[in-house]
Amino acid sequence: MDASVSISGTTETARLDSGTTTVVFHWTDGIPVIVHLGAKLPEDVDLDTLVSALVRPTPQASLDETAPISLLPEFSRGFMGHPGLIAHRAEDAPSAWAGRFTFTRYDATDTGISFYCRDPYRGLDLCITCSLDPQTNVLTFQNELVNSSDRSLLVDWFAAPVVPVPSRLTEYLSFHGRWCAEFALERMTVPVGLTKKENRRGRTSHEGFPGIVLLGENTSEDSGPCLAAHLGWSGNHRMVLERLPSGEMQLQMGALHFAGELLLRPGDSLKTPDLYVTASSVGLSAMSQAFHEEIRRKILKFPEPQKPRPVTVNTWEALYFDHGWDKMTQLVDSAVDVGAERFVLDDGWFKNRDSDRAGLGDWFADEEKFPDGLDPLIDYVTKNGLEFGLWVEPEMVNPDSDLYRTHPDWVLGLADYPNPLSRNQLVLDLTNDDVTQYLYDCLEKLLTDHAIGYLKWDMNRDLVMPGNREGRAAAHKQTLALYALLDRIRAAFPHVEIESCASGGGRIDMEILKRTHRFWTSDSNDPVERARIQSGFSFFFPPEVMGAHIGPAWSHTSGRGFLPGFRGLVAGVGHLGLELDLGGTTERELPDMRHAVERYKADRHIWHGGNFYRLPSIDPALIGFASVSMDKHQARACVVQIDRPRSTVPALVRIPGLDPDVQYHVVMDDPDDLLGKANRGFNNQLASGHLVVSGAVLTQVGLQLPVLYAQTGLYLTINKSEIT
């Protein structure tokens, strides 16, 4: 459906529509305002009437004319909250901290609209672009600022188009975390005043994922209003959520710049990262499905879109730095045995890399471990029918490396300041073309000389004092240079898939996903931690990009152990991998591993192509996921009891998204075979394998599950029944 623009007198309005959503813009002489972003409005709603019905009263003791939350709110118009643009001039220009834009024109396309505004005081041009995908229901926003004056401008803050949040969304989900605990969630009340979240780590970060969900007091997975936003940016970022004294709420997200970092010279322009926004009036799972669809249709570019996501064996927790020929080939043999399809050689293969103290930067096979280069191993892997993948960490260098000894000046940092190490490494300055050319040449040689179909691209430290050669803060340009390097690699080797890893999930966002095909979600393979992380991850990203591995019986990051069926169950919800010494100490677990792989292969098309749901649950110790095929003929559910259940008998579990009129056959798999112990009896048709029940019952009433021990789970296979 086209953007429909209507103009009457001096008031102009425009609307964009998708299947579930309408957004209405309104403007007079200044920067346009969003007057509605949410549930779809009937086509015949008169927008002028809508706008006049929403005119706010002028309260006591206020400016005669109060400024609205425009797409870039301005102090100069009397907006008293956090402004959308903060900029000034370094040279003597006392009034350049202020400015005021006037509306000049718009351009409407099939699915979007761009507004052009000009600030004559400072000689700035602003272009605000908004589009609404009619199929995915996701809005994409971007601002661009052009310095059309003859003097430089320093930009301190430039928000992506600012979203006014409906005041009934009184709560928000904040995403925080740390290493091995990504996507931690906290539900809070939006306070009056300003809430700011900032990330200065130089990568998307574990600690402050650039996303937020605003929701009503009673909003749940399958009911109530919510609005979610995500900034597609892999560097420093800031989010401002502000509830004004007037009761209005604004949400600003954008790239965070260090002081003086963004100098716009005459003629220069600056674009904000893309901001993705979606609204749902039927709960959180529908909101997540909108982001999943957006990613499936527009962000992800698999070299072979029809190819199922291959079962991966990764060497890290199996071998660490110990790349002996026998160990590696035994692992390949076991990988074949369990049914793996891709073998990824992780850290430890390159020159002098026997620990994390040396080698980063020297991207050549270690001659002791690989006397004849990488090809003998790659041949062994590929002749066994597996694809070969390789770990790299191109942005980094160890001081103990040939690269650093030759080019100590290639790192980010400030000459007069100590440059702190993290994991014994420093960060290369990608804004230096010599550096990116060196990295490109290394990667090009690896990918040209060898049959490598996959790169695990890691990034294992935060940036501290990221100054470039001129001493200017360069974190922003570093992020853009990384994108450019990845784009170059992707263009030259379009068949190579790339995994985005940053000490686990430190670089998970939509912009990096445009150039990559999988996230390493977390360094934690502990299934209890993972169930929580995967639940948080699923708010924005679909299962097919969620790298999820079955780790060893004893988890090296959390220090506790789990049964094999449980580990396989939780990992099977994402893009499955195995990361353990399959042929060694865990040999007795091989049948469980085979079972997990078989189930994943049989069902991955449902998890990776269906509608994903987090199961509504009243037990905080029960986490559940389901995926329903688009034709609603098949569904799979995974129920994870992370701790002892809170009641002696579990509450009914509803399976959302099914066709109410279809009869489904439900089969339960208890992968660790513990139900006989955890229940004195369970004489339910589910237990006998004969449960055939309607979608209406499964979705509205729910399913009685047996009692589950802590740290166990169930897998449900739900197929349209042939018996009617």
Q: Just list the catalytic residues.
A: 458, 523
Smallest separation, CB 459 to ligand GLA (Å): 9
Q: Which stretch binds ligand GLA (CB under 6 A): 53-61, 198-206, 367-375, 500-508?
A: 500-508
Q: Does position 460 bind ligand GLA by CB under 6 A?
A: yes
Smallest separation, CB 550 to ligand GLA (Å): 14
Phi, psi of 693 (to 5 degrees): -150, 155
Smallest separation, CB 518 to ligand GLA (Å): 12
Report helix angle 475-492 to 433-449, nearest 10: 30
Q: Which stretch binds ligand GLA (CB under 6 A): 36-44, 466-474, 501-509, 654-662?
A: 501-509
| Comparison of 129 and 314: residue with beta carbon closer to ligand GLA | 314
| Comparison of 261 and 347: residue with beta carbon closer to ligand GLA | 347
Q: Which stretch binds ligand GLA (CB under 6 A): 58-66, 291-299, 330-338, 499-507?
A: 499-507
With helix as H, strand as E and coil as C, how does 478-494 read? Answer: HHHHHHHHHHHHHHHCC
Q: Does position 499 bind ligand GLA by CB under 6 A?
A: no
Q: Are 460 and 398 in contact (CB under 8 A)?
A: no
CA distance 523 to 501: 9
Q: Which residue is listed with tokens 């550096």?
A: 435
Token output for 285: 């799972």
| Comparison of 278 and 460: residue with beta carbon closer to ligand GLA | 460
Query: Which positions ≥6 away from 408 have C-beta within 8 Å?
Result: none
| Comparison of 316 and 410: residue with beta carbon closer to ligand GLA | 316
The site map against ligand GLA for 354-383 (x = CB under 6 A) is: ------------------------------
Neighbouring C-beta atoms of residue 632, cutoff 10 Å: 18
Smallest separation, CB 312 to ligand GLA (Å): 12
| Comparison of 174 and 204: residue with beta carbon closer to ligand GLA | 204
| Comparison of 412 and 455: residue with beta carbon closer to ligand GLA | 455
- Please give the C-alpha separations between residue 265 and each of 94, 424, 606, in angstroms, as whole numbers: 18, 37, 51
Amino acid at 57: P
Smallest separation, CB 549 to ligand GLA (Å): 9
Q: Are 225 and 216 in contact (CB under 8 A)?
A: yes
Q: Does position 603 bind ligand GLA by CB under 6 A?
A: no
Smallest separation, CB 369 to ligand GLA (Å): 15
Token output for 517: 């095909």
Q: Which stretch binds ligand GLA (CB under 6 A): 240-248, 358-366, 497-505, 632-640?
A: 497-505
| Comparison of 221 and 523: residue with beta carbon closer to ligand GLA | 523
Give the chain's largest Cα–Cα span. 83
Smallest separation, CB 586 to ligand GLA (Å): 18
Token output for 454: 């996959």
- Nearest residue to 708 via CA among 676, 686, 684, 683: 676
Phi, psi of 262 (to 5 degrees): -110, 95
**Touching ligand GLA, residues 306-345 (CB under 6 A):** 316
Q: Are 655 and 626 in contact (CB under 8 A)?
A: yes
Smallest separation, CB 193 to ligand GLA (Å): 38
Report helix angle 590-609 to 325-338, nearest 10: 60
703 — alpha (psi -120 to 50), left (phi > 0) or beta? Answer: beta
Q: Does position 182 bind ligand GLA by CB under 6 A?
A: no
∠ CA 130-218-285, nearest 5°, is 55
Q: Does position 346 bind ligand GLA by CB under 6 A?
A: yes
CA distance 482 to 616: 39
Query: Which positions ≥6 away from 77 have C-beta within 8 Å?
Result: 30, 67, 70, 100
657 — alpha (psi -120 to 50), left (phi > 0) or beta? Answer: left
Q: Does position 391 bind ligand GLA by CB under 6 A?
A: yes
| Comparison of 293 and 523: residue with beta carbon closer to ligand GLA | 523
Smallest separation, CB 524 to ligand GLA (Å): 10
Report helix angle 325-338 to 375-383, nearest 10: 20
Residue 477, H or E segment: helix 475-492
Q: Does position 503 bind ligand GLA by CB under 6 A?
A: yes
Q: Are 656 and 616 in contact (CB under 8 A)?
A: yes
Q: Does position 526 bind ligand GLA by CB under 6 A?
A: no
Smallest separation, CB 532 to ligand GLA (Å): 18
* Residue from 274, 362, 458, 462 in contact with ligand GLA (CB under 6 A): 458
* Residue from 318, 501, 573, 582 in contact with ligand GLA (CB under 6 A): 501
Q: Which residue is listed with tokens 């694809």?
A: 387
| Comparison of 548 and 675: residue with beta carbon closer to ligand GLA | 548
Smallest separation, CB 724 to ligand GLA (Å): 49
- Nearest residue to 441 via CA among 505, 497, 492: 492
| # chain residues binding ligand GLA, by CB under 6 A | 11
Q: Are 328 and 349 in contact (CB under 8 A)?
A: no
Q: Residue ranges of the alpha helices (H) in 660-708? A: 675-678, 685-688, 695-696
| Comparison of 182 and 659: residue with beta carbon closer to ligand GLA | 182
Query: Are β-strands 312-314 and 342-345 bridged in parallel, bridged antiparallel, or unpaired?
Result: parallel
Q: Does position 347 bind ligand GLA by CB under 6 A?
A: yes
| Comparison of 27 and 520: residue with beta carbon closer to ligand GLA | 520
Q: Which stretch binds ligand GLA (CB under 6 A): 115-123, 478-486, 498-506, 699-707?
A: 498-506
List residues binding ligand GLA (CB under 6 A): 316, 346-347, 391, 458, 460, 501, 503-504, 520, 523
